[in-house]
Amino acid sequence: MRLHEFTRRTVVQWSISIAAAAVLFLALGAEDGELLFRINRSIDLFGKVYREIAVQHVDGLDPERLMRSGIDGMLKGLDPYTVFIDEEGSDEIDLVTTGRYGGIGVSIGVRDGAVVIVNLLEGFTASKQGLRIGDRIVEVEGSPVSTASVDQIRRLVRGSPGTEVRMKIEREGESAPLDFVLVREEIPVRNISYAGYAAPGVAYVRLERFSRTAGDDLRSSLKDLKSTGEIKGVILDLRDNPGGLLDIAVDVVAKFVPESSLVVSTRGRKSETERKYFSTEQPMLPDIPLAVLVNENSASASEIVAGAIQDLDRGVIVGTRTFGKGLVQTISRLTETASLKITTARYYTPSGRCIQELDYAHRTRDGEASVVPDSLRRLFQTRNHRPVLEAGGIHPDTLVPLPEAGPLIAALVRKAMFFKYANYLASQGRLDVPFAVTNKTVDEFDQYLSLTRFQYEEDTESALKELRKIATDGRYEKSFLDEITSLERMTQQEKKRSVARYRAEIRTALEQEILGRSSGDKARIEASLKEDPQVLVTLGLLKNKAEYSRRLRGR
């Protein structure tokens, strides 16, 4: 499209908008009409500025790019959830709203600077054609891959079912890259990554997202578990669940609470926009003790579920404080290829509290969103009159923080050494048969770290470096510096036995990584439950009926 045609069409559209505004002004009340008049006057001014820059600027700007800059600037001062979605970003919206996407059945991620396949869905193209977890992706459709474009790679891999995608990968033990031509299929989103028994009689369900089919998936999982044994308690794991669709969160809550219970309400800028959401079905497990696991990455729909369960005193919340997102977004289609996701309301738990932590309308001098101080947070009550606070997310009834990983474990995870070691074992064919992780495995892993020249820094090393700098700058005696040198030597000796010091943690991490690689996600998750401190505390709480009841009774 020529520039003058583009601008002429744009001006015509704005003229139509202003004319329509005049009609609406007469139909609406005075207050709304005044707002609409101011909006269209601003649109008119923006259009004139846009047209003058697009036509007159010496650099000959791209009209579409200029318009996108204007949109981005307009949204910059709002909350981070109000975003413009172009054609490239529409796939993620479709994935959540439909519960399906076109792809090859892989999950990709970054491991120590490389884009790799981190998971495969059994029964789909990628696994059937021979791709493996740990394969490094070097090209997609002839385009070289870099870690800076992981989202772009996902979009390249996804597409319409029946179409082809070409990939070049590098594999441990292979001297040359391997070429694959894969046919995309319709892939269902996996909302539930695991459903089983964490202990005799205690069902455990890990819900990872709230796409369109999550409620149905939960119903099927609970039905299957009930068919295999008596359920005496349920753990619903929402840790690291970023959320999804609000009505699906209501559907999930409905599996546990009495029919017609208020689950959540939403209110926009005007009080008359309030909408209440109730459970509309008989619960599958109305009286079974329930615990919901959450952490700092449980957000949005996860917090709706946790807040409803807590406020209705239907179960206990265990873990750490949730993210604190109490805002609701609505998606408006602008064109065939563009949409606007805009924050249109806040949501409120059954007790009436909003758990939003950050106030984007009131910012600090540095431009940061403000936080409601604890002293100003209002107190609400659950059905049993237990006190709960607004803002700052959902606070668990039982706080169970996870122990911090030591510097060695943190470095091993950051540099993907457990992942790489599993790749190494797979390249030797050692994962083709049942593989048991023993103390000997940990010793072999220690040798592997030496061969790969793995390096990390102990906290003691960092402290001694800082101490040496302070002492040198302060012109301390040589004898003092010699003592630091002696401590540094001792630290290096102790560092050589670091794997022995963290043997238990390393063995657990290796077992989960290798089991996941050789036997699938189910085996990996089952292994992790045995060592998960938050799960273990939750199991103890569900088995102790008196303590469970006490926490829900209130005053």
For residue 70, which amino acid is it? Answer: G
Closest CA to 83 of 68, 98, 66: 68
Sequence-ordered list of residues with C-beta below 8 angstroms from that of 75, at least 6 positions apart, any chain: 82, 83, 84
Residue 311 known to be catalytic: yes
Burial 187-213 (b: 16+ CB within 10 A, else e): bebbbbbbbbbbbeebbbbbbbbbbbb
Which residue of the set 79, 217, 251, 311 is catalytic? Answer: 311
Length of the chain (residues): 555
Helix, strand counts (H, E) of the chain: 19, 23
Residue 465 known to be catalytic: no
Question: Which residues make beta-bridge pairs with 143?
Answer: 140
Cα–Cα–Cα angle for 517, 521, 527, rounded to 5 degrees: 90
What CA–CA distance (Å, rounded) separates 204 from 195? Answer: 6
What CA–CA distance (Å, rounded) separates 126 from 270? Answer: 50
Which residue of the set 300, 351, 498, 518 is catalytic? Answer: 300
Burial 280-319 (b: 16+ CB within 10 A, else e): eeebbbeebbbbbbbbeebbbbbbbbbbbbbbbbbbbbbb
Which pair of structure tokens corresponds to residue 73?
């600037």
Question: Which residues make beta-bridge pairs with 101?
Answer: 187
Which pair of structure tokens corresponds to residue 93?
């919206």
CB atoms within 10 A of CB 385: 10
Which residue of the set 79, 217, 325, 420 is catalytic? Answer: 325
Residue 90 known to be catalytic: no
> Between helices 417-427 and 407-414, what is the axis angle to 10°?
60
Q: Is 300:242 a contact under the CB 8 Å cutoff?
A: yes
Sort strands 339-348 and 262-267 into parallel, antiparallel or unpaired. Answer: antiparallel
Q: Phi, psi at residue 191, to the nearest 5°? A: -80, -40
What CA–CA distance (Å, rounded) separates 367 from 180? Answer: 48
Which residues carry out catalysis?
Answer: 300, 311, 325
